[in-house]
Structure formats: C-alpha cells, structure tokens
Amino acid sequence: MNPLARRRLVQVALNAAGLAVFLFAVFPVYWMVATAFKPNDQIFTTSFIPFPSPPSLDHVQRVFTKGVGELPIWQYLLNSTIVALSAVVIGAVFALLAATAVARFRFRFRTSFLILLLIVQMVPAEALLIPLFTMVKRIGLYDQMLGLIVINVGLTLPFSVWMLRTFVSAVPKELEEAAWIDGAGRFTTFWRVLFPLVAPGLVATSIFAFITTWNEFVFALTLINDQGKYTMPVALNYFVGQRSTDWGGIMAASTLMTIPVLVFFLLVQRRMVSGLVAGAVKG
C-alpha cells in the first residue's frame, strides 16, 4: 500500500474510533431524553425503538403537574436553585477574599493554608456527614434549607479558593500599583481594578460550585426531612423508590435536572480542567 493511502486509512480508522467514543458517551444521555418523550407502549417493550415516534409530552407534563412524589417537580427545581444560588453567592465572596489574600500577599502560614485547602478536599463527605448532622440538629438547623446552604458553602469553598487564586495571580500587579499611585484607596483599587479583571474567573469558579451544590446528594438526603424542602437529587431518589417502574416519569425528571448542568458545563469545561490538575499541566 502506498503511504498516502495508508495515511488516509489511518485517518478513517481514527475518525471511526472517535465516533464510537462519541456514541458510547452520548447514548445514555440520549436514551434518557428519548425515554422521557416516549409514550408508555414504546418504553415497556423488549424491542428497540430508537426515536420516540411520535414524541409525547405526557411524562414531562405529568412531572410538572401531578409531580414527583406528592409535589410538582418545579418545587424541587426551585429548592435546588435556591440552595445552589445562595451557597454560590456566599461562597464567592469568601473565596474571592481568601484567594486575593493568598495570591497577592506573602504572609506567615500562607503555605500551610494552601496545603490545608488541599487536604480538607480529600476528606470524604460521608465522614463529615455524621458530625455535621449532630451539629445541625443541635443548633436547630435540621430540616432547614439554610443548614444545607451553609454546609454547601463549606463543601465548595476549599476548591473555589484553590481555583480562584490562579485567576487573581494572572492579573498583573502593575495595574493595581498604578491605581495606588493615582491615589485610589485599597477598597477602590480592589473594586474598580482587580474585581472586573477577575470577574470571568469568578464566574467560572461560581459555576463549578453551582454544579457541585446542584448535584449534592448525601447531605440533602440526611439533613432534610420535609418533602417540600427536598432538592432535586433527593426528589429523584424518592421518586425512584416510590414508583420504580415509571421510567418515563423518572427519565423526564432526570432530563430536567441534567439540562442546567449540561449548559453550565459547556461554558466552563476548559477552566475546570486547569483548576483540578492545577500546576501539573503546564502551557
């Protein structure tokens, strides 16, 4: 075989492999969405029906009106949104302050603090669950969304600081110094110079924290008892437990839960990788 034909063959094989990877990754997600839009007789069948034909909105409508468990799904979507947004906003303020401290200043315990950030991320959430459960009970935050918000701030903060500090370091110090020379105070410099430049990084970090909180399962499962305060993951688990064979409804609920994450993901995936493998990937 001549080299040109060989190269072409290799390229075809590579593209075929790429397609196979694509299908393996996408099919379960596609199947979730497809099942959500299938009428029941196309779901409960031993034959393979690739597309909903015709698509039906029955299940989606049902989870919105009659609901998951006893309440319509928007209640859980709303709860999840409240918890995630509150945790993200509070966490973003704390993270930005701490990230500025470690990125802009040299001080005693700076290295210790950074190493602490790494280590606390490694402690399994299930290990913190038991003591936090008793703590939350003692201070009367059990079965309160506020308790869940506070805990999610704690769970996401170490990684947020870790990720945000690289964005703060990336802003040239000279800009702040120029503002100082022009007579701007410390707060003005922070607010008018550093903040706008770090904002894109803050958005990326916040989206990551949002996804983590949105997906968080075990704390929401343990600390919330009242069904009206369930977040989406817990509601989905409850739904599966109650109506384990209602696959159309379950898939509709899963789809509604996945969409916001998917959108956010495509927005920040590049920065997320650089944040997670911080330092190991150069360039």
Partner 1 sequence: MTQTSTLARGGADTSAPARRSRKPTRGPGLSPRAVPYVLLLPGLLVIAVLLLYPIYQMIEMSFHKVGLRQIKAVNPAPAEFVGLDNYDSVLGSPLFWSSLRNTVVFAAVTVALTLILGTLVGLLLNRLGGKMSTFVVVGIMAAWATPPTAQAVVWKWLFDSDAGVVNWLLNLLPDWLSRLLFGRSDWTGEPWFNDTSTLYFVLIVAVVWASFPFIAVSVLAGLKSIPSELYEAAKMDGSGPVTTFRRITFPLLKPVFSVLVVLSIIWDFKVFTQLYLLAGGTTNRDAFNLSLWSYAEAFGGSAPKLGLGAAIAVVLTVILLLITLVYVRQIVKTEDDIR
Residue with Cβ nearer partner 1 (201 or 233): 233
The distance of closest approach from Cβ of residue 205 to partner 1 in the complex, given in angstroms and rounded to an integer, is 13
Q: Quick check: 15 binds partner 1 (CB under 8 A)?
A: yes
Pick the piece of the chain touching partner 1 (CB under 8 A) from 21-29, 58-66, 68-76, 195-203. Answer: 21-29
Residue with Cβ nearer partner 1 (110 or 192): 110
Question: Is there a contact between 58 and 39 (Cβ–Cβ < 8 Å)?
Answer: yes
Taking CA atoms, 242 is separated from 108, 223, 233, 249, in Å, by 55, 20, 14, 12
Structure tokens at 122: 């490694």
Reply yes or no: is the peptide bond before residue 54 cis, omega within 30 of 0.
Answer: yes
Taking Cα atoms as reference points, which of 149, 166, 111 lies closest to residue 276?
Answer: 166
The distance of closest approach from Cβ of residue 21 to partner 1 in the complex, given in angstroms and rounded to an integer, is 5
Angle between helix 232-242 and 247-276 (nearest 10) = 150
Q: Quick check: 81 binds partner 1 (CB under 8 A)?
A: no
How far apart CA 201 and CA 272 sit, in angstroms, is 10
How far apart CA 19 and CA 25 sit, in angstroms, is 10
The rounded radius of gyration (Å) of the Cα atoms in the chain is 24
Q: Quick check: 172 binds partner 1 (CB under 8 A)?
A: no
Q: Quick check: 98 binds partner 1 (CB under 8 A)?
A: yes
Q: Quick check: 157 binds partner 1 (CB under 8 A)?
A: yes
How far apart CA 139 and CA 123 sit, in angstroms, is 24
Q: Quick check: 78 binds partner 1 (CB under 8 A)?
A: no
How far apart CA 125 and CA 107 sit, in angstroms, is 30
Q: Quick check: 169 binds partner 1 (CB under 8 A)?
A: yes
Q: Quick check: 16 binds partner 1 (CB under 8 A)?
A: no
Pick the piece of the chain touching partner 1 (CB under 8 A) from 39-47, 66-74, 193-201, 202-210. Answer: 39-47
Site size toward partner 1, by CB under 8 A: 110
Pick the piece of the chain touching partner 1 (CB under 8 A) from 57-65, 69-77, 147-155, 199-207. Answer: 147-155
The distance of closest approach from Cβ of residue 74 to partner 1 in the complex, given in angstroms and rounded to an integer, is 17
Q: Quick check: 53 binds partner 1 (CB under 8 A)?
A: no
Q: Quick check: 119 binds partner 1 (CB under 8 A)?
A: yes
Give the chain's largest Cα–Cα span: 77
Using CB under 8 A as the binding rule, the residues of this chain from 190 to 219 that contact partner 1 are 211, 214-215, 217-218
